[in-house]
Structure 1
Amino acid sequence: MQQFIDYCMGKIGASADYPFGPEPLVMKVGGKMFALISNSSISLKCDPVIAENLRQQHSSVKPGYHLNKKHWNSIEIDGSLTVQDINDMIDHSYTLVVKSLPKAKREALV
């Protein structure tokens, strides 16, 4: 999981927080969550159409656990997806969240 934490932390403006206790680690940008990382899974924001497609294609991708199931996926880290696949999902989540930030916060990230 450390490789995904490191990847998330490499994003511009990313910060780590534990608002729910010792787990999950919550990755934020502009004060908004883009990833929740636990010992065996990572939850990521996702476009609803893409989210549904990923769930149909991969048994390790499920509706977001304790999250809005339309907009979040929880991915079991079980080796069925490549690191690059998961990094691509992290990129997508980060981009969606950045796009939703107010203009001033978006501009502060550049």
Structure 2
Amino acid sequence: MTGADLHWFAWSVALDLPGVAQSRPFGPDYEVFKVGGKVFVMTTVVRGTPIVTLKCEPEHAVALRQQFGTITAGYHMNKRHWTSVAAGAGVSRGLVEELVRNAYLLVVDRLPRAKRPDLPSARNLHESSPTSS
């Protein structure tokens, strides 16, 4: 997977989730994806390398950084709760999809009920995977 593929795939997974809005609040170099007004994924290019930065459970983020050389603490974000992914060995479509969906659910679970999107099968987001064929 190239850096451009990484960005495109993360965008397509994020935009396929219920209630997601895409914007550029930090300028033209950042694509930001929100649910309920809260950021869960963003993409940019850092020193020529496309990255995807995602909300992540702290323990999972540490494990990912130990396993993948191109996964680091969140670029310009809280290093405990965010992780950044660049294309590289082992970074597959399946991994990116899992990370985007997990980031989404982390944010949705913390939203007030009134701001949560209608998720008749939110827990099935991990199992249903229309983009991972």
TM-score (structure 1 length as normaliser): 0.93
Amino acid at match of 1:90: V
Paired residues of 2:68 and 2:89 also in contact (CA < 8 A): no
Gaps of 5+ in 2: 1-6, 120-133
Q: CA deviation at 1:78?
A: 3.3
- The structure having more radius of gyration, on CA atoms, is 2
Structure 1 runs of 4+ off > 4 angstroms?
none
Gaps of 5+ in 1: none
Q: CA deviation at 1:105?
A: 1.2
Paired residues of 1:60 and 1:80 also in contact (CA < 8 A): no
Identity %: 35
Q: CA deviation at 1:89?
A: 0.5
Structure 2 match to 1:27: 33
Structure 2 match to 1:76: 86
RMSD of aligned residue pairs (Cα, Å): 1.2
Compare relative contact order (CA 8 Å, sep 6+) and give the higher one, 1 or 2: 2
Amino acid at match of 1:48: P
Q: CA deviation at 1:46?
A: 0.4
What is the count of residue pairs matched by the alignment?
Answer: 109
